[in-house]
Structure 1
Amino acid sequence: MDDQNKNLILATVLSFLVILGWYTFFPPPEPSPQVEPTVTETAATGDTALAPIASGDATSAAQPEEVEAPQAPRVSIDTPRVSGSISLQGGRIDDLALKDYRVSLDDDAEIVKMLSPVGEENAYYALYGWAPSAGLTIADVPGANTIWSAPADATLTPDTPVTLTWDNGNGLIFSRTISVDEDYMFDITQSVQNSSGNAVSLAPYGTLARHGLPSDLKNFFILHEGVVGMADGELDETKYGNMEDYEVDPRDGSYTNVTEVTQDGWIGFTDHFWMSTLIPDAGQAFRSVAKFDENRGIYQTNAVLPTMTVAAGQSAEVTTRLFAGAKEWATIGDYEKAGVSGFIDSIDWGWFFFLTKPIFWLLHNLNQLIGNMGWSIIALTLIIKAILFPLAYKSYVSMAKMKELQPQMEELKKKAGDDRQAIQKGMMELYKKEKVNPAAGCLPILLQIPIFFSLYKVIFVTIELRHAAFFGPFQDLSAPDPTSIMNLFGLLPWGGPEAGTMVALVFIGILPLLLGISMFLQQKLNPAPTDPTQQMIFAWMPWVFMFMLGGFASGLVVYWIANNTITFTQQYLIMRSQGYTPDIFGNIKSGFKRTPKTDKK
Structure 2
Amino acid sequence: MKNDNRNFITFAIIAALILFGWPVIANKLFPPANPPVTKIEGGKTKVVPNTTAPSPTTPARVRDLKAVLGESAGQRVAIDTPTLKGSINLKGARIDDLVLTQYKETIAKDSPPIRLLSPAGTTDAYYAQFGWQDNGLKPPSADTVWTANGTLLAPGKPVTLTAANAQGQRFAIELSVDDQYMFTIRQTVLNAAGTAVDVAPAGIVSRATPSKDVDSWTIQIGPMSVHDSKADYDLNYNKVAESKPFTTTGGWLGFTDKYWLTALVPDQASTFAGEFTAPTGNGYAADYARAKTSLAPGKALTQTSRFFAGSKEVRILDGYQDNAGIALFGKALDWGWFEVIEKPIFYYLHWLFRMIGNFGVAIMLLTVTIRGLIFPIAQRQFASMASMRAIQPKMKALQERYKDDKQRQQQEIMKLYKEEKVNPLAGCLPTLIQIPIMYSLYKVLMLTIEMRHQPFVAWIKDLSAPDPLTPINLFGILDFVPPHFIAIGVVPILLGISMWLQFRMNPAPMDEAQKQVFALMPWVLMFVMAPFAVGLQVYWITSNLLTVLQQKVLYARHPALKQPVVK
Q: TM-score, normalised by structure 2?
A: 0.82
- Report the counterpart of residue 374 of structure 1 in structure 2: 360
Distance 1:311 1:464 in 2: 50
Superposition deviation, residue 417 in structure 1: 7.4
The one-letter code of the counterpart of 1:273 is: Y
Mapped pair 1:309 → 2:294 = yes
Superposition deviation, residue 192 in structure 1: 1.4
Distance 1:573 1:422 in 2: 39
The one-letter code of the counterpart of 1:144 is: A
User: For 1:392, which of 361, 370, 378 is the aligned residue?
Assistant: 378
The one-letter code of the counterpart of 2:492 is: P
- Report the counterpart of residue 49 of structure 1 in structure 2: none
Superposition deviation, residue 182 in structure 1: 0.6
User: For 1:553, which of 522, 533, 538 is the aligned residue?
Assistant: 533
Mapped pair 1:236 → 2:232 = yes
Superposition deviation, residue 143 in structure 1: 3.0
The one-letter code of the counterpart of 1:564 is: N
CA offsets, 1:176-211, max 9 Å, x none?
Answer: 111111110101111111212221112100111111
Superposition deviation, residue 478 in structure 1: 0.7
Q: Which runs of 5+ in 2 are unaligned?
A: 32-67
Partner SS for 1:257: coil
User: For 1:470, which of 441, 450, 456 is the aligned residue?
Assistant: 456
Residue 256 and residue 219 in structure 1: after superposition, are their counterparts in 2 closer, same or farther (change >3 A)?
closer
Instruction: Tell me whether 159-168 or 202-211 shows the greater mean CA deviation.
Output: 159-168
Partner SS for 1:230: strand
Q: Which runs of 5+ in 1 are unaligned?
A: 28-67, 245-253, 584-597
- Report the counterpart of residue 121 of structure 1 in structure 2: 123
Superposition deviation, residue 408 in structure 1: 4.9
Residue 172 and residue 280 in structure 1: after superposition, are their counterparts in 2 closer, same or farther (change >3 A)?
same
- Report the counterpart of residue 145 of structure 1 in structure 2: 143
Residue 412 and residue 563 in structure 1: after superposition, are their counterparts in 2 closer, same or farther (change >3 A)?
same
Superposition deviation, residue 406 in structure 1: 4.0
Superposition deviation, residue 124 in structure 1: 0.9
CA offsets, 1:15-74, max 9 Å, x none?
Answer: 9999x96994799xxxxxxxxxxxxxxxxxxxxxxxxxxxxxxxxxxxxxxxx9993321
Q: How many residues are treated as equivalent by the alignment?
A: 514
Q: Is the 8 A contact 1:225 1:239 kept in 2?
A: no
The one-letter code of the counterpart of 2:171 is: F
Q: Is the 8 A contact 2:390 2:565 kept in 1?
A: no
Partner SS for 1:83: strand
Distance 1:384 1:304 in 2: 48
Q: Is the 8 A contact 1:161 1:179 kept in 2?
A: yes
The one-letter code of the counterpart of 2:184 is: D
Superposition deviation, residue 575 in structure 1: 2.7
The one-letter code of the counterpart of 2:311 is: A
**Larger helix percent:** 2
Residue 280 and residue 241 in structure 1: after superposition, are their counterparts in 2 closer, same or farther (change >3 A)?
closer
Distance 2:238 2:556 in 1: 56
The one-letter code of the counterpart of 2:185 is: I
Q: Is the 8 A contact 2:378 2:430 kept in 1?
A: yes
Mapped pair 1:167 → 2:167 = no
Q: Is the 8 A contact 1:85 1:95 kept in 2?
A: yes
User: For 1:85, which of 84, 87, 90 is the aligned residue?
Assistant: 87
Distance 1:412 1:176 in 2: 83
- Report the counterpart of residue 577 of structure 1 in structure 2: 557
Distance 2:126 2:554 in 1: 58
- Report the counterpart of residue 198 of structure 1 in structure 2: 195
Q: Is the 8 A contact 2:463 2:534 kept in 1?
A: yes
Partner SS for 1:524: helix
Superposition deviation, residue 82 in structure 1: 0.6
Distance 1:69 1:102 in 2: 21
Q: Is the 8 A contact 2:29 2:216 kept in 1?
A: no
Residue 260 and residue 496 in structure 1: after superposition, are their counterparts in 2 closer, same or farther (change >3 A)?
farther
Q: Is the 8 A contact 1:268 1:278 kept in 2?
A: yes
Instruction: Tell me whether 560-569 or 184-193 shows the greater mean CA deviation.
Output: 560-569
Residue 526 and residue 497 in structure 1: after superposition, are their counterparts in 2 closer, same or farther (change >3 A)?
farther
Distance 2:368 2:18 in 1: 23
User: For 2:446, which of 456, 460, 466 is the aligned residue?
Assistant: 460
Distance 2:89 2:335 in 1: 35
Partner SS for 2:234: strand
Distance 1:361 1:174 in 2: 44
Q: Is the 8 A contact 1:268 1:301 kept in 2?
A: yes
The one-letter code of the counterpart of 1:103 is: E
Superposition deviation, residue 87 in structure 1: 1.0
Superposition deviation, residue 81 in structure 1: 0.8
Partner SS for 2:555: helix
Distance 2:478 2:223 in 1: 37
Superposition deviation, residue 127 in structure 1: 0.3
Q: Is the 8 A contact 2:196 2:294 kept in 1?
A: yes
The one-letter code of the counterpart of 2:267 is: D
Counting only pairs closer than 5 Å after superposition, residues 465-504 of structure 1 correspond to structure 2 as 465-485=451-471, 503-504=483-484
- Report the counterpart of residue 154 of structure 2 in structure 1: 157
Superposition deviation, residue 221 in structure 1: 2.6
Superposition deviation, residue 323 in structure 1: 0.5
The one-letter code of the counterpart of 1:474 is: I
Identity %: 41
Residue 130 and residue 496 in structure 1: after superposition, are their counterparts in 2 closer, same or farther (change >3 A)?
farther
Q: Is the 8 A contact 1:483 1:495 kept in 2?
A: no
Residue 70 and residue 259 in structure 1: after superposition, are their counterparts in 2 closer, same or farther (change >3 A)?
farther
Residue 291 and residue 410 in structure 1: after superposition, are their counterparts in 2 closer, same or farther (change >3 A)?
same
The one-letter code of the counterpart of 1:511 is: V
The one-letter code of the counterpart of 2:245 is: V
Distance 2:245 2:407 in 1: 62
Q: TM-score, normalised by structure 1?
A: 0.78
Q: Is the 8 A contact 2:472 2:486 kept in 1?
A: no
Mapped pair 1:334 → 2:319 = yes
Residue 483 and residue 582 in structure 1: after superposition, are their counterparts in 2 closer, same or farther (change >3 A)?
farther
Distance 1:166 1:496 in 2: 62
Superposition deviation, residue 531 in structure 1: 5.0
- Report the counterpart of residue 63 of structure 1 in structure 2: none
The one-letter code of the counterpart of 1:222 is: T
User: For 1:351, which of 337, 340, 345 is the aligned residue?
Assistant: 337
Distance 2:215 2:478 in 1: 26
